Amino acid sequence: MDTPNNVRVLVVEDHAVVREGLCSLINSAPGLEVAGEAADGLEAVAQAATLSPDIILMDLAMPRLDGIQAITRIVQQNPQARILVLTSYSGDRVLEAVKAGAMGYLLKDSSSRDLIAAIRDIHQGKLSLHPAVTRQVMRKLGTPDQEAAEQRHLTEREIEVLKLIAQGLSNEEIAQSLFVSDRTIAKHVGSLLSKLGLENRTQAAIYALREGLAKLE
């Protein structure tokens, strides 16, 4: 049963036993509850649209539609979707998930405490990456449009905004911090993403980490 102010999580996992365990863990955590379940990527896309969960906990290896494809479709439908990947895969799939729009990436050997903490962080708009994959993503995720980045340097204000994105602040929170309008911040975000050749806020946060503009706590 939905409880006001609880963080509602959609659990996407094709293995029933694992999915049941995740649901039990989430429902037992204070302030969290399972909004729905999906056994494959197509179900995930449909459930995300119907239930509008706060967080989507997404496996990658699934039948009919894999996790990367599901993330892409969900983000196309709702760019504000907050997706946490939980999988056994590292390697290039990490970068694919981040590029598709995932805000976090945990391996299935993570502890229950780490998973619950990651869900809470993602709900607050913070980047959440498993320590084992953070260095890999930072190494592989460069600036796809390096020439444009060199020719069009970030302004001081855009650097300020980039640092705050890496801290997990929303546009509204950044606007309040800098005493400007949400629309102004949205323009700064769009501009810095374009200059750096990046696709989304998660990539921007990782860029800030790699360049030493922010630290992963």
- Identify residue 13 by its one-letter amino acid code: E
Predicted local distance difference test score (pLDDT) of residue 108: 86
pLDDT 10s digits, 179-190:
999 999 999 999
Cα gap 31→26, rounded to integer Å:
9
Whether residue 198 sits in one domain with residue 171? yes
Return mean pLDDT, the chain: 85
- Identify residue 101 by its one-letter amino acid code: G
Locate 141 and state its tokens: 């995720």
**Residue 50 parent element (H or E):** helix 41-51
pTM for this one? Answer: 0.77
Whether residue 105 sits in one domain with residue 197? no
Residue 94 has pLDDT above 80, yes or no: no
Check: CB of residue 206 under 8 Å from CB of residue 215. no
CB neighbour list of residue 129: distance below 8 Å, 6 or more residues apart: 104, 105, 106, 137, 206, 216
Last residue of a domain, one of 115, 139, 163: 139
For position 123, which CATH number holds? 3.40.50.2300
Whether residue 88 sits in one domain with residue 19? yes
pLDDT 10s digits, 133-174:
666 666 665 544 444 444 458 888 999 999 888 877 878 889
Whether residue 122 sits in one domain with residue 39? yes
- Number of domains, the chain: 2
Whether residue 153 sits in one domain with residue 131? no
